[in-house]
Amino acid sequence: EIVMTQSPATLSVSPGERATLSCRASQSVSSNLAWYQQKPGQAPSLLIYGASTRATGIPARFSGSGSGTEFTLTISSLQSEDFAVYYCQQYNNWPLTFGQGAKVEIK
Amino acid sequence: EVQLVESGGGLVQPGGSLRLSCAASGFSFNNYGMTWVRQAPGKGLEWVSSIGTAGISTHYTDSVRGRFTISRDNSKNTLYLQMNSLRAEDTAVYYCAKKGMTVPSYNWFDPWGQGTLVTVSS
């Protein structure tokens, strides 16, 4: 099983600032990585797939990068609606696995 | 608009069974693989099971293999998860989700349903 490790667990950021979240895979997943956002009481929603392709309707302030074992989700200028928990997910191998989540909170 | 609506959750005793359903609309259900993902209270996301378009190809996480069965009825646009021998650690919100693309190996999910809560307790 591929273990996905996200860091930091919690990121405190002021609105308008940049946020950078990391996701590390225990073995290469190529570019087969997705990012999801989950707000309290809501289902997760897709942000990024293929490590760097924004899903339909996702603002350009969200960007993904990386390949192999190291990946990054960057939110260039945090808006109030971006404070949430973010998960990475690898789909290179079965079983599919998620990171433990990273919470972006208001500083 | 794509919609996924889960149902069938509830309170069940350890060792009991439940069948979850996910009614899909707004897309060609028979063209997309589907998946179940769960989230224990206050915890992260855990992939549970996925199924291919024809219902022949299935995958399970180790902790549910042999106890849970994923299936689909393309004539009813519905995904199912039969859960047997339930344990306390199966307590979670169960989400169904649609694969983002029809390509078999592209196993990211979009969108997700609102979830249904399964509580296993005596």
Express each pLDDT in A63-96 by its tens digit. Answer: 999 999 999 999 999 999 999 999 999 999 999 9
- A87 to chain B, any CB pair closer than 8 A? The answer is yes
- The residue ranges of chain B whose pLDDT is under 50 are none
B48-67 pLDDT, tens digit per residue, is 999 999 999 999 999 999 99
Mean pLDDT, to the nearest integer, of A5-31? 97
pLDDT at B111: 97
Residue-level pLDDT at A102? 98
Residues of chain B with Cβ-Cβ distance to A44 below 8 Å are 37, 45, 95, 112
Q: b/e for A47-82, b at 16 or more Cβ within 10 A? A: bbbbbbebbeebeeebbbebeebebbbebeebeeeb
Strand residue runs (E) in chain B: 3-7, 10-12, 18-25, 34-39, 45-51, 58-60, 68-73, 78-83, 92-99, 109-112, 116-120
The pLDDT > 70 percentage for chain A reads 100
Taking residues A47-52, what's their average pLDDT?
98
Could you tell me if A90 lies within 8 Å of chain B, comparing CB atoms? Answer: no
